[in-house]
Amino acid sequence: MAIKCDIRNEDDVKNAIKEIENNFNKIDVLINNASAISLTDTLNTTMKKYDLMHQVNARGTFMVTKYCIPLLIKSNNPHVIMNSPPLSLDPKWFGNHTA
């Protein structure tokens, strides 16, 4: 089942989860896969890009998880999977992309 949902928007998240509840009554697995990234240094990272990264990566992930918990606890074996690319500790990534 596909549901259009902007995880930055609380009403979208609540409506998507309500749709899932109406159709399935529970959630077995939540996969947090949405992300936003800007590979720019601090001086070249606009506040709009910075805000987007934090709205999606931190706030959105937290909010989706928070609102899924009531349906996850209805499952016999619930899981939350945080999906992200592996971090490379190569200084070329951390040194130039601080945002």
Set out the domains of the chain in order of their start, with CATH numbers.
10-94 (3.40.50.720)
Question: Taking the model in full, what pTM does it have?
Answer: 0.84
pLDDT tens-digit profile of 2-50?
A: 999 999 999 999 999 999 999 999 999 999 998 898 888 889 999 999 9
* Amino acid, single-letter form, for residue 79: H
The runs of H, that is alpha helices, within the chain are 10-24, 47-54, 61-72, 91-94
Instruction: Give the per-residue pLDDT at 20.
Output: 97
